[in-house]
């Protein structure tokens, strides 16, 4: 039986770069064999159903098709509804106010040595916590001003990440479970 997944694309439709119409993105997932495909907002969040074997292939298939059709490279990570629910239930910063929270979804769990290289004082007033393949973030001055960026985490942790604000994380789970 197919499971429900969310694909989180990195760097799509951000600041006028890497333009990708969501209608086309939905079509790419459907053409790859996914069912129940729908998107949320314009930043590359796609909910779909697939069996485990197909889901494992989706990141490479979708990235290759986007490069062929739209001429840019992107990466994506997948999460199941259960994984997203776990993120929501385990955010250590929930008491600090949802409007200041975000999550970095990592392609893989980082090694302990990479985590040890992270500087907790890199971005004063901002906080982060690494939990497996997730980085929870609390950014009181806003994401636009933080020094806790994808590039920083990717270089230190030897993986790649894509971030979402807390409101988006909550909405994606709601859509996955409906």
What was the pLDDT predicted at 17? 86
The two structure tokens encoding residue 17: 């770069």
Predicted confidence band at 14 (pLDDT cuts at 50, 70, 90)?
confident
Asked whether 26 and 46 are in contact (CB, 8 A), the reply is: yes
Give the pLDDT confidence of 84-117 residue by residue, as tens digits: 999 999 999 999 989 999 999 999 999 999 999 9
Give the pLDDT confidence of 19-72 residue by residue, as tens digits: 999 999 999 999 999 999 999 998 899 999 999 999 999 999 999 999 999 999
What was the pLDDT predicted at 100? 94
Average pLDDT over residues 121-145: 96
d(CA 111, CA 108) in angstroms, rounded, equals: 9
What is the strand order of the sheet 101-106 is part of?
A: 127-131, 134-138, 101-106, 161-165
Q: How much of the chain exceeds pLDDT 70, in percent? A: 100
Predicted confidence band at 124 (pLDDT cuts at 50, 70, 90)?
very high
Q: What is the residue-averaged pLDDT of the chain?
A: 96
Write down the pTM of the prediction. 0.95
Average pLDDT over residues 154-163: 96
pLDDT at residue 123 tops 80: yes
pLDDT at residue 18 tops 80: yes
pLDDT at residue 140 tops 80: yes
What was the pLDDT predicted at 116? 97
Asked whether 128 and 97 are in contact (CB, 8 A), the reply is: no
What was the pLDDT predicted at 15? 75
What was the pLDDT predicted at 99? 92
């Amino acid at each position: 039986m197919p499971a429900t997944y969310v694909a989180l694309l990195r760097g799509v439709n951000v600041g006028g770069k890497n333009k990708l119409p969501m209608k086309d993105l939905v079509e790419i997932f459907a053409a790859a064999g996914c069912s129940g495909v729908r998107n949320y907002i314009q930043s590359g969040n796609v909910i779909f159903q697939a069996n485990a074997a197909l889901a494992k292939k989706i990141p490479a298939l979708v990235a290759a098709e986007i490069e062929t059709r739209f001429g840019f490279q992107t990466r994506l990570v997948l999460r199941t509804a259960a994984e997203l629910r776990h993120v929501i239930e385990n955010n250590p910063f929930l008491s600090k106010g949802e409007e200041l929270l975000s999550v970095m979804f990592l392609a893989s769990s980082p090694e302990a040595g990479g985590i040890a290289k992270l500087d907790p004082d890199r971005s004063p007033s901002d906080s982060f916590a690494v939990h497996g393949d997730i980085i929870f973030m609390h950014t009181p001055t806003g994401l636009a001003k933080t020094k806790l960026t994808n590039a920083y985490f990717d270089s230190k942790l030897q993986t790649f990440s894509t971030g979402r604000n807390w409101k988006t994380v909550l909405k994606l789970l709601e859509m996955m479970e409906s």
